[in-house]
Amino acid sequence: MITADLANIRIEKNNFSSIKSVDFNALDFGKYHSDHMFFADYNNGKWHDMRIVPYQNISLSPATAALHYGQTVFEGFKAHKAKNSSDIILFRPDKHWERMNKSMARICMPPIPKDIFMDGVIEMAKIDRIWAPSQEGCSLYFRPFAFAMDAFIRVKPSENYYFIVFCSPVGAYFAGKLNVKIETEYVRSAVGGIGFAKSGGNYAASLLPAKKAAVDGYQQIMWTDAKEHKYIEETGASNVMFLIDNVLVTPELSSSILDGVTRDSIITLAKDMNYKVEERKVSVDEIILSLKNNSMQEAFGTGTAAVISPISIINYLGVDYTVPSPKSDGFSAKVSKILNDIKYGLVEDPYHWTIRV
């Protein structure tokens, strides 16, 4: 059983804030980091020594296990500055805690107790609340992550770990609409692998094909199944959804597809908006046919960073297919407004997705 020492979090304030060096009107995603970071150590079978310290570099042994064998996982979620108060509002951090522990189990890492995760996140939100941007479309992005710390180069699970949370004020991850390329050669993940886990190696596999696609003018890869390349899975930075004949269609979850929190939120909202939702296998042929016969109404990526990102071009086997522009009263516009109203505290949150700090 994993245990935790639940003593109060020790706080060491940063006396030299870097906030004045940040142009909040030109926020590159992930470029800036707030003044503090949360730490917890794992050794002797328990998590302990919870502390918030000034944001700083970490000293590691060259033999650190995570650097050699990839025992590392991460999460990402956002807080938004409330429109009508000085509060900041965290969006579904508990769901991210659940997913992080699923990732950690797959990578053979000890789970993080919910109180350590949530207490660390909430204290970070309190201490660095001034870093939450007030500009439209901006947010304070939280990056929890954990990695193996054993200085031991042998292939085995580590016995020591760090859990860390830091924050970044961010703007939009994508600017404008997306051009995507359906991948038919490279494989990001396979059923039975770690595609559902937010682990570093999972993303490393996507870098080369994404770089090649970018040379041809495509911002994202649309991944297909590893066996036949017949079925859509997700894009490089998000889950993917299609509105076809007023039905919201998205690939069903598997061990090769990330269980996206934004994906889950949109599915919940869509059902409450009386849209028919189908989580199932989505073939490449179906997508191309729907573009040819004009039954495709919308296509978009969904994710914490991407939020809802409209897709304008889908390339398949060298041919560009144009996706209709989303209408101002269309599904993605309506669901985006509902999500934003909840995230910014403009309406009551009937789903209990948010935490005010």
Question: Residue 355: which residues within 8 A CB-CB, separation 6 or more?
Answer: 89, 90, 93, 122
Cα 266 from Cα 224, distance rounded (Å) = 22
Count CA atoms within 13 Å of residue 101 on its CB side.
15
Q: Which tokens hold the place of 73?
A: 């996982």
Average pLDDT, the chain: 94
Determine the pLDDT at residue 333. 95
Is residue 175 a contact partner of residue 215, using CB atoms and an 8 Å limit?
no
Determine the pLDDT at residue 273. 97
Name residue 251's amino acid.
Answer: P
Taken as a whole, the chain contains a residue count of 357
Cα 54 from Cα 39, distance rounded (Å) = 11
Q: What percent of the chain has pLDDT above 70?
A: 98
Q: Which tokens hold the place of 220?
A: 């994202």
Is residue 124 a contact partner of residue 51, using CB atoms and an 8 Å limit?
no
Say what the pTM is.
0.94
Question: Residue 209: which residues within 8 A CB-CB, separation 6 or more?
Answer: 183, 185, 186, 221
Task: Say whether pLDDT at 179 is over 90.
Answer: yes
Using alpha carbons only, how large is the chain's radius of gyration in Å?
21
Cα 257 from Cα 195, distance rounded (Å) = 5
Task: Say whether pLDDT at 225 is over 60.
Answer: yes
Name residue 141's amino acid.
Answer: Y
Determine the pLDDT at residue 175. 75
In tens, the pLDDT along 306-345 reads: 889 999 999 999 999 999 999 999 999 999 999 999 999 9
Cα 220 from Cα 173, distance rounded (Å) = 12
Determine the pLDDT at residue 4. 43
Cα 107 from Cα 171, distance rounded (Å) = 31
In tens, the pLDDT along 93-123 reads: 999 999 999 999 999 999 999 999 999 999 9
pLDDT band per the 50, 70, 90 thresholds, residue 5:
very low
Task: Say whether pLDDT at 7 is over 70.
Answer: no
Which DSSP string do the residues of 223-289 spell out, in sequence order? EE-TTTS-BEEEESSSEEEEEETTEEEEEPP-TTS---HHHHHHHHHHHHTT-EEEEE--BHHHHHH
Stated as kind and residue range, the H or E segment containing 161 is: strand 161-170
pLDDT band per the 50, 70, 90 thresholds, residue 211:
very high
**What's the angle, vertex CA 255, arms to CA 253 and CA 256, rounded to 5?**
85
pLDDT band per the 50, 70, 90 thresholds, residue 82:
very high
> Environment class of residue 318 by beta-carbon count within 10 Å: exposed (0-12), middle (13-18) or buried (19+)?
exposed
Residue ranges of domains in the chain, CATH in brackets: 3-170 (3.30.470.10), 178-343 (3.20.10.10)
pLDDT band per the 50, 70, 90 thresholds, residue 6:
very low
pLDDT band per the 50, 70, 90 thresholds, residue 3:
very low
Task: Say whether pLDDT at 205 is over 60.
Answer: yes
- Give Cα 112 to chain centroid, integer Å: 18
Determine the pLDDT at residue 2. 44
Determine the pLDDT at residue 8. 82
In angstroms, how far apart are the furthest CA atoms of the chain?
Answer: 62
3-state secondary structure 22-56: CCCCCCCCCCCCCCEEEEEEEECCEEEEEEEEECC
Phi–psi pair at 58, nearest 5 degrees: -115, 135
Residues paired with residue 320 on neighbouring β-strands, in sequence order: 315
